[in-house]
Chains A and B, each alone.
Chain A
Amino acid sequence: MGGYILKRILSAVPVLLGITVIVFLIMAMIPGDPATAILGSYATPENVERLNRHLGLDQPLWQRYFTWLGNLLQGDFGRSFALNRPVLDEILDRFAATLILAGTAFVLCAFLGIAAGVVSAARQYGPADKAITFVVILGISVPSFFLGMMMILLFAVKLRWLPASGMYSIWGGGDLPDLIRHLTMPAFALAVVATGVIARLSRGAMLEVLRQDFIRTARAKGVPERRVIWGHALRAAMVGIIPVLGIQAGFVLSGAVYIEMVFQWPGVGRMLVDAILKRDILLVQGGVVFIAACYVGFNILVDVAQSLLDPRIRT
């Protein structure tokens, strides 16, 4: 088992190195530079050159890459031009916010999605199945940012039940109930699509399992139907569902970008969008590498979890 984990971790190294090269080259190739973004209308060639020199952007490309990579390996992500603070501080601050949002949304969509899928499969073509399928397709079809905007209009502007945006009240608040009030709408808006996808796939996985012999055996020997479904069948179906959960976790994390924009959630997605517009090179590079590392790490976890459930994979 240890050998398997080590092998997965080692195979991630070239992936991450490749990502550093790609993100570095993309930032070097896109038009516009941080000096132009900072100076705006005042970006004379002379001012741009002076500022770029100050920011260390006048060095050759390869030299900048290796300086950056060398610092990165020592845990130094550099300093953001646009925010005037260390990149890693900013990423960690923002990543915590994203994790809270995406984590909540993920838990929501995993439980709701699997439950809906199991119920659908158990009552195939029954009214419950049809109702769930209808809601699920609706959920998959509505863009999450649109749903978010509609939720703000209804719950914040019209009914004034929930705050329209942000993570904590700017005045008072700052405690857990305050966080939950701010979290409710964005977490639901973010969870909707993934819930639908997980429900569809769980239904399929369950239907396949329910047709198998061991289920018939279980029923024949008199195991209560609820245990057949939630015990025997779901456990077998989980082997198919868990990789989907892993992929959906990735989607929830990347979908957080839109939701963070709509709800002004101070997360890493919004940070990256702002940083790209401001050509905040080090923040974009650091942010992308950090997220990629998390992604890779999460995939390793999923693989390990799967190999625990199904030892055949561990070869």
Chain B
Amino acid sequence: MAFSSLTRRGFGVLTTALLATSAMVSPALAQTPPGVLVVGQIAEPQSLDPHAVTAVNDFRILMNVYEGLVRYASGTLEVEPALAESWEISDDGTVYTFTLHEGVNFHDGSTLDAEAVVFNFERMLNEDHPYHNTGPFPLSFFFSAVQGVEALDDRTVRFTLNEPYAPFLSNLAYPTGLIVSPAAVMQHGAEFGRNPSGTGPFRFAEWRSNEGVVVTRNDSYWGDNAALETVVFRPITDANTRVAEMLSGGIDVMVEVPPVALSQFAGANYTIHEQAGPHVWFLILNALEGPFADVRVRQAANYAINREAIVRDVLEGTATVAAGPTPPAFAWAYNTDLEPYPYDPDRARALIAEAGAEGAQLTFYVTEGGSGMLDPVAMGTAIQADLAAVGFDVRIETYEWNTFLGRVNPGLQGKADMAQMAWMTNDPDTLPFLALRTAAWPEQGGFNSGYYSNPEVDTLLEAARVATDQDERARLYREMQVIVQQDAPWVFVANWMQNAVTSDRVEGFSLEPSFFLLLGDVTKN
């Protein structure tokens, strides 16, 4: 064996390869053609079966491929007709009867009829359904109030609820309520999530693992056809790489731009879009034991933390200061009279002195990052400093997101005085009902990890849930917000504005309060 010749041959091969590489490096990379939109997503979708997923990231794709019986009207969180052209609600609020649009077909050619709708909900809710095993369906409890679904005729479908449940319609507008093609589920079984078929303006074309999901225009769409020919959703998990791709022209739309990177897109070549959504970032205070058992100390924490500074300096203006438990994006249910607690450390010190809690030691749970948590470590540090300024000795314990949830969700008792948390919901009922009621204490299966309890709030929330009149519901929620703000079970910190950047080739793009991405009207030149 002659190593000399082998090595020299090797060098030859290597040199050739290097030359070939440099020859293929063209000065300007090929741009994607007009009509083809490349969206930079934050992760690979889990599945394209809307009943099987929980992440906003996946919803961005799904909302363009599927439709529900109802949807949120553009720019709001109010429900309007979609696949159902109309509906009736019985006076007691337990029977919903929907009339379906005529002549709507799934992408696989099968017809959308009442039986198809029944199939969708039976698959999710009925454990004996032959296709229940194509799950799991983690958010099926959104429809746990549904007692039965029946097809009255081809175009009429009736839901019977076991009790009045006002959020039912907005839950139907959520991705968990999107309607999938029964024929496609039967054909693909557990693989349906990779072979999706809906009724939306785009049909599924291809899923290249970890490279992208491709959807193309549905030319036989029952509404107005989409302007774009093709949309490609590319998963780019690293935020810096996503920014680099946007700057190098590899993607046309980028969602969830890191606050620190926003300034890079200030020029005329890009448009920055911002939209407040149904998100609230708060601190759960342990109202059961320790200093925060006293309402004055909880209020003091709200006065002591400089939310303006956090929103401006840590979040670079990508959020607004939260006033109460309900995000302003729920315009119809939000109490506009509510003023956020002002930053007033002197008042905080006075309240703390009154309660005799000076110099208390606090344990504060912080997460490294998680869904909707924004920049939790930096925010946690800022909060720690603000609380130190009014005399608290705050000890931070940081956990990875899943570990964090595993510690916080079972309740803070015996472990911590405060914990970070953030929620994004589709109905003003969800968060307070699951996280503020007495009956939602952790041992009863809720998320009231700080053990807040006020019978008045309980009554208001129960009443709002069964009220069928939206104005009446709104009144109850507004009243609830005033009481909760006063009781301060949480420090209300921020309402996040989601953002996106588009290149100058993209037109007609806007973000929705629902955090969904609807691309039907978007064009690309």
At the interface, yes or no: A198 with Cβ under 8 Å from chain B? no
0 or 1 for each of B23-57: is its CB under 8 Å from A? (1 = yes): 01111111011001010000110110100101100
| Min CB–CB distance A304 → chain B (angstroms) | 15
| Bound Cα distance A264, B241 (Å) | 8
**Residue contact A266 to B210, C-beta cutoff 8 Å:** yes
**9-residue interface stretch from A14-22, A34-42, A248-256:** A34-42
At the interface, yes or no: A115 with Cβ under 8 Å from chain B? yes
| Bound Cα distance A84, B245 (Å) | 28
**Residue contact B371 to A157, C-beta cutoff 8 Å:** no
| Bound Cα distance A180, B208 (Å) | 19
Top 6 nearest A-B pairs (CB, nearest first) are A32-B402, A266-B210, A31-B403, A230-B4, A54-B136, A231-B4
- What would 12 A/B residue contacts be, using CB atoms closer than 8 Å? A31-B403, A35-B138, A40-B55, A41-B423, A51-B138, A85-B194, A157-B247, A171-B232, A231-B3, A231-B4, A266-B209, A266-B210
| Min CB–CB distance B170 → chain A (angstroms) | 16
* Set of chain A residues within 8 Å of B405, measured between Cβ atoms: 32, 36, 40, 43
> Told that A156-B244, A230-B7, A264-B237 touch, could you supply 11 new A-B pairs with CB distance under 8 A?
A31-B406, A32-B401, A42-B54, A45-B442, A51-B136, A83-B47, A94-B210, A168-B211, A180-B21, A231-B2, A235-B1
Given the contacts A31-B402, A32-B402, A164 and B245 also touching, CB distance less than 8 Å: yes
At the interface, yes or no: B446 with Cβ under 8 Å from chain A? yes
**Residue contact A227 to B4, C-beta cutoff 8 Å:** yes
At the interface, yes or no: A77 with Cβ under 8 Å from chain B? no
| Min CB–CB distance A81 → chain B (angstroms) | 9
At the interface, yes or no: B248 with Cβ under 8 Å from chain A? yes
* Set of chain A residues within 8 Å of B139, measured between Cβ atoms: 42
| Min CB–CB distance B124 → chain A (angstroms) | 12
At the interface, yes or no: B409 with Cβ under 8 Å from chain A? yes
| Min CB–CB distance B362 → chain A (angstroms) | 23
Nearest CB in chain B to that of A155: its residue: B25
**Residue contact A165 to B250, C-beta cutoff 8 Å:** yes
| Bound Cα distance A163, B241 (Å) | 11
Given the contacts A111-B11, A266-B211, A165 and B241 also touching, CB distance less than 8 Å: yes
| Bound Cα distance A85, B247 (Å) | 33
**Residue contact A93 to B209, C-beta cutoff 8 Å:** yes
* Set of chain B residues within 8 Å of A262, measured between Cβ atoms: 238, 240-241
At the interface, yes or no: A166 with Cβ under 8 Å from chain B? yes
Q: Which of B371-408 contact A (CB under 8 A)?
A: 371-372, 400-403, 405-407
0 or 1 for each of A107-142: is its CB under 8 Å from B? (1 = yes): 110011011000000000000000000000000000
0 or 1 for each of B118-150: is its CB under 8 Å from A? (1 = yes): 000000000000000001101101000000000
**Residue contact A32 to B406, C-beta cutoff 8 Å:** yes
At the interface, yes or no: A222 with Cβ under 8 Å from chain B? no
| Bound Cα distance A211, B434 (Å) | 78
0 or 1 for each of B234-258: is its CB under 8 Å from A? (1 = yes): 1111101100110111100000000
* Set of chain A residues within 8 Å of B21, measured between Cβ atoms: 180-181, 184
| Min CB–CB distance B65 → chain A (angstroms) | 16
Nearest CB in chain B to that of A112: its residue: B14
Nearest CB in chain A to that of B134: its residue: A84
Q: Which of A60-106 contact B (CB under 8 A)?
A: 79, 82-85, 90, 93-94
Binding site for B on A (CB under 8 A): 30-33, 35-47, 51, 54-55, 79, 82-85, 90, 93-94, 107-108, 111-112, 114-115, 149, 152-153, 156-157, 160-173, 177, 180-181, 184, 226-227, 230-231, 234-235, 238, 261-264, 266, 270-271, 274, 277, 279
At the interface, yes or no: B496 with Cβ under 8 Å from chain A? no
Question: Among B11, B208, B212, B240, which residue has its beta carbon within 8 angstroms of that of A149?
Answer: B240
* Set of chain A residues within 8 Å of B135, measured between Cβ atoms: 54
* Set of chain B residues within 8 Å of A264, measured between Cβ atoms: 235-238, 241
**Residue contact B209 to A90, C-beta cutoff 8 Å:** yes
**Residue contact B237 to A270, C-beta cutoff 8 Å:** yes
At the interface, yes or no: B20 with Cβ under 8 Å from chain A? yes
| Min CB–CB distance A307 → chain B (angstroms) | 15
**Residue contact A166 to B211, C-beta cutoff 8 Å:** yes
Count of B residues near A, CB < 8 Å? 79
* Set of chain A residues within 8 Å of B402, measured between Cβ atoms: 31-33, 36-37, 277, 279
Nearest CB in chain B to that of A41: its residue: B423
| Min CB–CB distance B77 → chain A (angstroms) | 18
At the interface, yes or no: B356 with Cβ under 8 Å from chain A? no
* Set of chain A residues within 8 Å of B240, measured between Cβ atoms: 149, 262
| Min CB–CB distance B282 → chain A (angstroms) | 12
At the interface, yes or no: B182 with Cβ under 8 Å from chain A? no
| Bound Cα distance A180, B241 (Å) | 19
* Set of chain B residues within 8 Å of A45, measured between Cβ atoms: 409-410, 442, 445
**Residue contact A46 to B54, C-beta cutoff 8 Å:** no
**Residue contact B250 to A180, C-beta cutoff 8 Å:** no
* Set of chain A residues within 8 Å of B49, measured between Cβ atoms: 84
* Set of chain B residues within 8 Å of A82, measured between Cβ atoms: 46
At the interface, yes or no: B167 with Cβ under 8 Å from chain A? no
At the interface, yes or no: B451 with Cβ under 8 Å from chain A? no
* Set of chain A residues within 8 Å of B434, measured between Cβ atoms: 44
| Bound Cα distance A103, B218 (Å) | 42
Given the contacts A41-B423, A164-B245, A180 and B193 also touching, CB distance less than 8 Å: no
**Residue contact B238 to A230, C-beta cutoff 8 Å:** no
For B1, B209, B423, B447, which residue has the most chain A Cβ atoms within 10 angstroms? B209
Question: Among A54, A153, A180, which residue has its beta carbon within 8 angstroms of that of B244?
Answer: A153
Nearest CB in chain B to that of A236: its residue: B3
**Residue contact A169 to B30, C-beta cutoff 8 Å:** yes
* Set of chain B residues within 8 Å of A55, measured between Cβ atoms: 136
Nearest CB in chain B to that of A178: its residue: B24
* Set of chain B residues within 8 Å of A270, measured between Cβ atoms: 210, 237
* Set of chain A residues within 8 Å of B446, measured between Cβ atoms: 44
| Bound Cα distance A70, B383 (Å) | 51
| Bound Cα distance A21, B518 (Å) | 47
**Residue contact B250 to A164, C-beta cutoff 8 Å:** yes
**Residue contact A263 to B241, C-beta cutoff 8 Å:** yes
Nearest CB in chain B to that of A47: its residue: B141
| Bound Cα distance A170, B135 (Å) | 30
| Min CB–CB distance A162 → chain B (angstroms) | 6
**Residue contact A164 to B241, C-beta cutoff 8 Å:** yes
* Set of chain B residues within 8 Å of A170, measured between Cβ atoms: 32, 38, 208, 211-212, 214, 232, 234
**Residue contact B250 to A163, C-beta cutoff 8 Å:** yes
Question: Among A85, A114, A162, A164, which residue has its beta carbon within 8 angstroms of that of B25?
Answer: A162
| Bound Cα distance A288, B515 (Å) | 36
* Set of chain B residues within 8 Å of A156, measured between Cβ atoms: 244-245, 248, 250
**Residue contact B14 to A111, C-beta cutoff 8 Å:** yes
For A170, A234, A274, which residue has the most chain B Cβ atoms within 10 angstroms? A170
* Set of chain A residues within 8 Å of B4, measured between Cβ atoms: 226-227, 230-231, 234
**Residue contact B194 to A84, C-beta cutoff 8 Å:** yes
At the interface, yes or no: B359 with Cβ under 8 Å from chain A? no
At the interface, yes or no: B342 with Cβ under 8 Å from chain A? no
* Set of chain B residues within 8 Å of A157, measured between Cβ atoms: 244, 247-248
Question: Among B2, B8, B211, B247, which residue has its beta carbon within 8 angstroms of that of A167?
Answer: B211
**Residue contact B403 to A32, C-beta cutoff 8 Å:** yes
* Set of chain A residues within 8 Å of B241, measured between Cβ atoms: 152, 164-165, 262-264
At the interface, yes or no: B75 with Cβ under 8 Å from chain A? no
| Min CB–CB distance A115 → chain B (angstroms) | 7
| Bound Cα distance A165, B212 (Å) | 12
* Set of chain A residues within 8 Å of B244, measured between Cβ atoms: 152-153, 156-157, 164-165
| Min CB–CB distance A148 → chain B (angstroms) | 9
Question: Among B234, B247, B447, which residue has its beta carbon within 8 angstroms of that of A44?
Answer: B447
